[in-house]
Amino acid sequence: MSKLQVLQKGEFTCQKCGYRDRSGEKLSIHNNIILCNICKTFAPNEEDKLKSYLEDKIDWRPLQAFRKYHVNKVQATTLGMQKVHEQGKQISRAPFGYKMLNSELIPDEEKKNSVRDIFKDFLNNISLNKIAKEQNLTVNGIKKILKNHAYVGKVRFSGILTQGKHLPILDYKLFNDVQKKLEEKTINQQTGD
């Protein structure tokens, strides 16, 4: 059952604590069971454990403070991440070829040349499988590396690219040549050429 189906039926009551939400905004669907966002946080995924979890009913009123805090915490986290992004800092873990030092992204001297090799090998028509084996990475890992703007000094958050504070490993020409080739390969696969 999707959230839309629940909203259409008008069923807005958490099956754990009995919390009612007329808008449905503070409710979630977890394994086809309606739960408020607080109860969902603690709900197990295994069906037998979930059934036992639901049998232990609780009163929704003591959870109100947590419900308000939960929304504020999510908003604060998102705002904090946006601020870090606007400062040009990396939000997630360091991409292959970089390492984090004192919360700063710096090139990893041992791996940065591997990043250059991956880009050059791809341009020289070496297969993704062969590159992955040589680098001891997966094909999907190689694809992510080839598309990652961090290597030209950019950071991405929520689909927005910003100039990073870190040193680039690659020059724009090499990166853009690879992007063009990736795009051509995608078009060729779609058209069957």
Q: Where are the domains of the chain?
A: 3-82, 87-191
Residue 175 has pLDDT above 60, yes or no: yes
**Residue 25 — very low, low, confident or very high, per pLDDT cuts 50/70/90?**
low
Mean pLDDT, residues 49-60 taken together? 84
Answer with the residue of higher pLDDT: 188 or 110: 110
Task: Among 38-52, 54-68, 98-112, 157-171, name the most confident range.
Answer: 98-112
- Grade residue 126 by pLDDT with cuts at 50, 70 and 90: very high
Nearest residue to 148 via CA among 87, 109, 137, 102: 137
Query: In this model, does residue 125 exceed pLDDT 90?
Result: yes
Cα Rg of the chain, angstroms: 23
Superfamily designation of domain 87-191: Putative Large Serine Recombinase; Chain B, Domain 2 (3.90.1750.20)
